[in-house]
Structure 1
Amino acid sequence: MSTMCEYPLKRTQNYPSLINNKMRYYIIEEPDIHYESIDEEDENYDNSAQNVILNEIEEEPDAYENSPCYSESIVESYPIYDENDRQRSEKIVVIPRKLLVPIRNQRFLSKGNFSLDKKMLLLSGPCHMNWNDYHRLSVIHAFMDNLEQDFPSVCTTVTIGHSLEGRELKVLKISNSDASNASVWLDAGIHAREWIAPAVATYIADHLARNFNNLPQSVTNKDWYFLPVFNPDGYEYSHTKERMWRKNRAWHGGQCVGVDLNRNFSYGWGGKGSSDIPTNAFYRGPEPFSEPESCAVRDVLLNSGIRFKIYITLHSYGQVIIFPFAFRDELCPDYVRLLEGATAMSKAIYETTGNTYKVGISRDVMYGAAGTSNDWSYGAAEIPYCYLIELRSKQHKFKLPRQEIEETGKEILSCVKTLMEFVDNYTESKIGEEKSEEEITISP
């Protein structure tokens, strides 16, 4: 394969030791890409941004997992940001798997024609997380790593598994490490096209990490586990190929790809609201937990030794708060308690932004569904408080404008905080009732 860059690339096996661990680096997710040079006189040249034009090609760049490349010759001319002081610094960028992203208008040997509808603009400047736009998987994972680095006393990241295509299922834990803490699980992005869900999950995680010591006790007495992107393969596919993609990218024969991960859990698997037809959007897979993504979450919730008290899964759209069961009409044993919690959450949202969220079981406010993570978390993992929140909006459906991301984050943050307070108060009241009953029993 011909060299892709003007400058020579040097291979090394100990590249991590050469890199300042405070440095940010960026990965091109797509394997089949080709860098194009752009002329300063060209109408697509952006003098204010560090950008590069990419086109898909047949060949894969000459960079592999176990044989990473890095360029020694551009150490002094590759600007990135140091995350500690946000000041521009000159550092080297590593290529863990694919080719590295070049600096501002970096010229390459290979130049070809490109069209505006085929090109992909990629900023190679600082990859700073914000909630003014929807971000790719690499940005979200880098954000989680940054929180761990900036707030090491409360933040830890861990990979609980990998997707079918090898992407990390990365979890962020936020905790003061008190042994008496209850545990909260919050996931998002189980359906690829629901971009607002990972955005809101990261918004909440960011708020907790940055303000943990000043938050109410009902928040700080919990160990928080965030999985912002449950379905990383589908999420990336929805960004690069098909915006409305829902499922993961598994193939189980036939001509269609993808399993609906929220129909792949064992509790109620195979019932109404799911399909055994691979071409169907609700295809449940050939068997329960046939997918590595659902298996990874199952193993944490059921087999990790962590006793979870609260399970929250973020979806879109519809503005409803749902609790078990979704796969059958019968009410769950804790219906009243879960309804009270959902009502408190809905009220908190209304008081924050004026938006209304319906509450109830799935069949009452939406539709029935079998094999869902929420039903399984309650019925199989025996987590007492399980809620599925369908975010905004009825008007825009899955394509919520980015201008509404932050406000959606604020209303769901308020909703989640209220749930924590409700859980603590309900637990205390139940303990008080039990003590009163004991006193009545033993009284003469």
Structure 2
Amino acid sequence: MTPQAICADLLDFTADPGLADRDSAAVRLRPAHWLLIGADGRIVDITPHAPGDDWHKHDHRGRLLMPGFIDSHVHCPQVDVIASWGTELLDWLTTYTFPAEAAHADPVLARAAAALFVDALLAHGSTSAVVMPTVHAVSADALLDAAQARGMRLIAGKVLMDRHAPDALRDDVEQAERDCERLIARHHGQGRLSYAVTPRFAATSTPAQLAMAGRLLARHPGLYMHTHVAENRDEVAWTAQLFPQSRSYLSIYEDFGLLGERSVLAHGIWLDDADRRLMVARGAQIAHCPSSNLFLGSGLFGWGQAQAEGMAVTVGSDVGGGTSLSMLRTLADGYKVQALAGQRITAWALLHAATAGAARHLRLDAEIGRLEPGLVADVCLWDWASGPVAARRDAMALQRLGGAPSATHVPDAAALHERVFAWLTLGDERNLVQTWVAGRCRYIRTA
């Protein structure tokens, strides 16, 4: 690969900016800087000076370059039922999700759907993701193969469900274990892929299956665990009836050896104080899914309380409960959810949770999440505005900034925040210009 050089306004984070500090020193803006990407797809240097003629140059001064977003919870097959009307979680699964997922037993359909899905992630500015396919091993193979073909960092594994699901979506403990072992051997650690042991949620696995999932994690250090927890009050009550011996919904996963520093649990709205302490003790993370929580009416996640208690929080689109693969739209909903919960959080907190923060909590911060020499060049180029209203709003923000940032005019974080917050709130995939994965262009806007 020819070495690449991209000039733009580079924005990333050197540390956690906190939830409410608009003037955080962790925000790093480098206007009109060149990001140099070597032939191996890693960042070589960042400099204000144009490189020599041996670099393939992309001059995008005045545009924004950021690390690619990391979507920490999303469902590949649910693209087919995104924006489906009118039910809460448990009914929504039965009415829409399970019928859509049953179709992915067909290898041809699974491969086509996986290709569409990963290309859609890239076209929305997400270069990495933690993904649920379906219970079918062919669905996991298709998803991981599609990511591998594009050089993406992807974490996924066959969904485990051996009860409370339609016949076409139930596995059994022995066959599921054999499938997982084969999938782990084939995909885990290959390229940029990692395998996740994936019980859908506690209610759809028997104790025997959850015990098997725990054995897989113990047998293969370095695997992830991906599931749901405490999303909906009815789900919490049902789960308590199914597992009366466990102290709480979260404790079920602890009881079966499923909580650790590579455990990603979506939602976590209805956790209690003891649950939050357990999350911190185990180093597990909550994938906050604000768009889905609003759409399904599940509740308001208390990010401020979680942060105060030391919990790791990342952000997931949760398509198809979520209504867009765009992390910008998802993050804007995250702001609204916290506002309803009585907490005003900054654009910095939101963007950090979907870039450097997610990378750190996934134990991938030596690879992705920041614009640093040595890290993989998973980067996205953005327009500051799309459409006349956003352009006007951006112009007003620039006016208050005293003009566009430059080498001689680098605004402080508090001054810059207005512009970035407006971009985040008004932006979506239409703002995305180009996506690079490991230095290779994998998406470019054509209109």
**TM-score if structure 1 supplies the norm length?**
0.25
**Bigger Cα Rg:** 1
Structure with larger RCO (C-alpha < 8 A, sep 6+)? 2
Normalized per residue, the structure richer in strand is: 2
Q: Whose helix proportion is higher, 1 or 2?
A: 2
